[in-house]
């Protein structure tokens, strides 16, 4: 590793030395320019010096390769990097165009707001087991704009607005939608395609809010009140998150059992 590197990061001079193996014409001024354009954001040392990670170096290589080999403008490169950062589309660092794609510049939406298709710029536990009533929380590395969510779920703009109105889909603090919002929107789209309206789905939000409220009550009892039956049988190693998940799982199990009972009685 170059002498200017420290630990797992590199100075801008060390990065320049590495990149010049593939890009002889690159300069420090060029790297600073790409940083000023928001294409890479290295950390800063306590004294203000840039500290580049291996991911930063790979990202710079992607940008330089996209410009040199495919003549992509920075606007297109920035859009592709943003999509990768939000989990919308994978990024092949070795091939800025991608297998089977044309080298023509990608189309960048004119409107770049989170509400209508562009950037303003969780922790999953794996896939659910078959038949699991409460799949693990979906990883929220996915950050979709409103337009991207509508397109993936197959929703018309007016139907999407109805879902927003009834609280069935909610953006995060930055205006993006994660994997759970996508799952909710997709399920709602399928139900509406069957003839239901968004207003008919409002009870699902109400039920979810009540179930979470009940789980919060259990946690409060676990911490401050008489020990619940669940907490009494738990070992000290059981976390509040595990208790919360188990309570919600049993809420869903109760819901499913009651629905099945109603269906049986209706036959």
- pLDDT surpasses 50 at 31: yes
Q: Which two tokens stand for residue 72?
A: 């992509």
Q: Do domains 12-85 and 135-196 have the same CATH topology?
A: yes
CATH level 2 (architecture), domain 135-196: Orthogonal Bundle (1.10)
Residues 112-130 pLDDT 10s = 445 555 444 433 333 343 3
Q: What is the pLDDT of residues 177-236, one digit of tens each?
A: 998 999 999 999 999 999 999 999 999 898 888 888 888 888 887 777 555 455 555 555
State pTM to two decimals: 0.57
Specify the DSSP element, H or E, that contains 44: strand 43-44
Q: Which residues contact 85 (CB under 8 A, 6 or more apart)?
A: 121, 143
Share of the chain above pLDDT 90, in %: 41
Residue 30 and residue 26: Cα distance in Å, rounded? 6
At residue 250, the pLDDT reads: 87
For the chain, give every domain's residue range.
12-85, 135-196, 200-267
Instruction: Indicate the CATH number for domain 12-85.
Output: 1.10.1660.10
Backbone φ, ψ for residue 185 (5° rounding)? -65, -40
Of 56, 113, 105, residue with least CA distance to 85 = 56
**Tokens 């008489």 identify what position?**
226
């Amino acid at each position: 590793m170059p002498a200017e590197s420290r630990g797992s990061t590199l100075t801008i001079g060390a990065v320049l030395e590495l990149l010049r193996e593939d890009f002889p014409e690159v300069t420090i001024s060029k790297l600073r320019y790409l940083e000023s354009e928001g294409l890479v954001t290295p950390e800063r040392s306590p004294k203000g010096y840039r500290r580049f990670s291996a991911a930063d170096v790979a990202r710079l290589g992607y940008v330089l390769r996209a410009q040199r080999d495919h003549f992509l403008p920075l606007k297109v490169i920035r859009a592709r990097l943003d999509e990768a950062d939000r989990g919308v589309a994978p990024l092949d660092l070795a091939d800025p165009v991608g297998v089977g794609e044309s080298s023509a510049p990608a189309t960048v939406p004119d409107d770049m707001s989170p509400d209508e298709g562009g950037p303003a710029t969780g922790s999953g536990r794996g896939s659910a087991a078959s038949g699991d009533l409460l799949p693990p929380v979906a990883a929220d590395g996915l950050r979709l704009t409103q337009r991207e969510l509508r397109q993936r779920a197959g929703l018309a703009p007016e139907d999407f607005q109805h879902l927003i109105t009834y609280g069935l889909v909610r953006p995060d603090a930055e205006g993006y939608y994660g994997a759970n919002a996508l799952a909710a929107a997709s399920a709602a789209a399928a139900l509406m395609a069957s003839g239901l309206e968004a207003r008919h789905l409002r009870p699902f939000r109400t039920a979810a809010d009540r179930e979470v409220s009940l789980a919060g009550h259990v946690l409060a009892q676990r911490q401050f009140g008489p020990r619940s039956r669940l907490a009494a049988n738990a070992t000290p190693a059981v976390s509040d998150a595990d208790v919360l998940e188990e309570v919600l799982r049993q809420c869903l199990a109760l819901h499913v059992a009651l629905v099945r009972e109603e269906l049986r009685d209706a036959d």
